[in-house]
Amino acid sequence: MTVKGSIKAVADIWTAYYSGLRHLFHRSYTLRFPEQRLVVEKGYRGRHLLHLDRCTGCGICAWICPEKCITIVPRGERWYPQYFYGRCCFCHFCTDYCPEYALEETVEFDLAEYTRDRLVWSPERLARPPAGKNDKYVFSVETPRGASNIPRVGAKPEK
């Protein structure tokens, strides 16, 4: 190896060291979920929020849904959408096509459940406003299991 080549090799090794050391002070890209949670901005297409007073039960949301995850269910004299989040792909075409602006996107994105039937969201459950940013972690919105032993601020137990 020539002298020039040797110098370059040593310099290259130091470039790698420098680069590695510099990344010690680099901001981490990952979060320690569930203690730390991703804060998504308003406009994120998370779970739906249903305004019961505006909804007319016309069924356009169920018609446009690409995954057929919406069922229109009766509540007294009125009809409301019910979501099955096991199928929802969060395209929010239902929100776009709602003529009465009864549906809204929320920033709530962790909807994991232990059982399949818990993924069915009734109109009443959809009508609840999403949890605030400062809430402590619960496994899902109102699951009485696992990490949800930490009480959520302002949460009411489900009857």
Partner 1 sequence: MTSVVSSEPSESGSQTLTISVGPQHSGSGHMRLIIEMDGDIIIRASPDPGYVHRGTEKIYELRNIIKNIPVIERPAIIDASNLNHAYIRAVEELQGIEAPPRAQYLRCLLNEMNRITSHLYWLSIFGVFLGHTTMFMWPLGDRELIVDLQEKLTGARITHSYIVPGGVRRDLPQGMKEEAIKRTQYLEKRLEEYDKIFFENPIFTARAKGVGKLSRDEAVKLGAVGPALRGSGVDYDVRKDEPYAAYPELDFNVCTRQEGDSYARSMARIDEIRESCKLIRQIVQKIPSGPFRRKAPIVVPRGESYSRVESARGECSVYLIGDGGDKPYRLRFITGSYRNMAIIAPVLIGGHMADMPTAWWSIDYWPVEADR
Q: Does residue 67 interact with partner 1 by CB under 8 A?
A: yes
Cβ closest to partner 1, residue 14 vs residue 154:
14
Peptide bond into 34 cis (omega under 30): yes
Cβ closest to partner 1, residue 22 vs residue 159:
22
Q: Does residue 96 interact with partner 1 by CB under 8 A?
A: yes
Residues 31 and 38: beta-carbon distance below 8 Å? yes
Residues 28 and 141: beta-carbon distance below 8 Å? no
Cβ closest to partner 1, residue 96 vs residue 124:
96
Residues 147 and 139: beta-carbon distance below 8 Å? yes
- Which residues from 117-146 bind partner 1, rule CB under 8 A? none
- What phi and psi values does residue 76 have, to the nearest 5 degrees? 65, -120
Candidate residues 4, 14, 19, 134; the one interacting with partner 1 per rule CB under 8 A: 19
> Looking at 65-73, 76-84, 134-142, 143-151, which segment touches partner 1 (CB under 8 A)?
65-73
DSSP state of 130: P
Per DSSP, the three-state class of 64 is: helix
Residues of this chain that bind partner 1 (CB under 8 A): 12, 15-16, 19, 29, 40-41, 43-45, 64-67, 89-93, 96, 105
